[in-house]
Structure 1
């Protein structure tokens, strides 16, 4: 999934721990082999290669994940869009981009983006991309989904506590061996090695989206790698969004959406989901808390 997974378990001995870690790794790989748009053998790759041609039958798991992704796209008014995989990559975030792309190129980059053109058939569990050139991908919520699945798998196996961490998007359950909750620090992107907030977690999840590690600097202005699916331009206003709540998948969706929506509209969206909390850091370094004490 293009991410480093780190698995922590509270288990009875090393042999059992290693066996269970392998089970989580197997589960993550199984999910990747269903939903990766980079592997040409996956069901999602088959859906993408048949855009504008025909519906493709998929596993119920893939169908339901896609259905939820469309729902998230609707909830956010398109700030999150599962079809951004089709976006032309005209922005470079490796330090090589020093001038703005042409406006016409930016407009063209989003021509094949639009979750409204994804057709689901629940009776036959098929996915059809109605517009040629469309693609769907799970770069935003796939890691969170895999972390949640790893947690569920270990809970079903009777493991009392642990963390499945997908490059900072993580699911936790239970507690540490000393009986204390898991503690997760949220970094301040403007102050190196400084922690903004420490979360105490039992059965919960956290996801962070940010522009502080991957961005372009053009004419003295900072451009996020998180692109607005409707405009083709990088999101502005927020440098980091951390969402804390029951599932990493939904937290992933919210953190990505808030980065695109910005402070005002983003908080409106977040307030619709009372079980989720948010910590937003603006481009000017201001820290905004929603339901954090």
Structure 2
């Protein structure tokens, strides 16, 4: 190719990229705040992409919501201990992946957590801890091993009456993944879907630099420990610095261990980097429940997964393969 044509083509590409701008909207979806950012040539294209993402997230909510009495998830819960329920392949596979994460985390992650009695209150109304017997009873119907899948029939059966499943610890991450997947398919070259801390990115910023995420100091949210680049991957941060109770000087998180009924303690913030938000979402919750040492050990055994933990003393710990240059 002649040099002049190469030069013109380079100039055209640079001009094209420079013409792209980020367009962002904040939307209330799935009962949470979603920030959707796309890089597009103009506001019409940008807003069109954002509406596509919003419609996809609303579709996911209709599929997995346990509040919607007409959803397949509600039908599974309604028939607990009675009979298996045939579901769409998409929901079946989400439940199947959830059970694999439960096995991976020794039950620290468990979608049957929805069966727990709500005996812990994090609105300031609790004055004493629940009794040992009450806590034990609260998780009597929880147990991922009692979720029976039939691949041939694409059916889900909860073996105990009163059992329920819910996707509060994985649903927003899954929705972010599906919105990203759709936008890429529709031609959006770059963007971020941020589902209340469940963030998934693709492409680069208009200036060619990667998207970046701040590791915030949960004890002082105006400050950040570090700013890290994320390229075509997901990052999820879970924290208990706003929802917790204290008894006898010990801080208890709103994130409850589904195996014991006791709230997690010792950690105030977990950030997980993973290829998909769904996995990062589930693992962030799991690390809270498992604790710092066990959580980091488990993360270090997983390929392409990294983790940053801030404990209740404000100390920062990381998995083996992530290096942070503090700000």
Q: Normalization by structure 1: what TM-score? A: 0.98
1:228 matched to 2:253? The reply is no
Deviating above 2 A after TM superposition, structure 1's stretches of 4 or more consecutive aligned residues are 217-221
Q: Which residue of 2 aligns with 1:108?
A: 137
Q: Which residue of 1 aligns with 2:322?
A: 292
State the 1:70 CA deviation.
0.6
1:112/1:131 contact within 8 Å kept: yes
State the 1:79 CA deviation.
0.6
Which of the pair has more CA radius of gyration? 2
Equivalent runs, 1:1-293 vs 2, <5 Å: 1-290=30-319, 291-293=321-323
Unpaired runs of at least 5, structure 1: none
Equivalenced residues, count = 293
What is the rounded CA distance, in whole Å, between the counterparts of 1:80 and 1:242 in structure 2?
16
What is the rounded CA distance, in whole Å, between the counterparts of 2:217 and 2:269 in structure 1?
9
Secondary structure at 1:68 match in 2: helix
State the 1:247 CA deviation.
0.7
Secondary structure at 1:85 match in 2: helix
What is the rounded CA distance, in whole Å, between the counterparts of 2:309 and 2:33 in structure 1?
24
State the 1:17 CA deviation.
1.1
Secondary structure at 1:10 match in 2: strand
State the 1:202 CA deviation.
2.0
- Show CA shifts across 1:57-87 (max 9, x none): 1000000000000111111000111100110
The worse-fitting range, judged by mean Cα deviation, of 6-15 and 187-196 is 187-196
Secondary structure at 2:291 match in 1: helix
The worse-fitting range, judged by mean Cα deviation, of 192-201 and 77-86 is 192-201
State the 1:95 CA deviation.
1.3
Q: RMSD value over aligned CA atoms?
A: 1.0
- Show CA shifts across 1:99-125 (max 9, x none): 111111101100010000001111110
The worse-fitting range, judged by mean Cα deviation, of 200-209 and 44-53 is 200-209
1:98/1:217 contact within 8 Å kept: no
Unpaired runs of at least 5, structure 2: 1-29
- Show CA shifts across 1:156-202 (max 9, x none): 11111000010011100001111111111121112231101212122
2:215/2:225 contact within 8 Å kept: yes
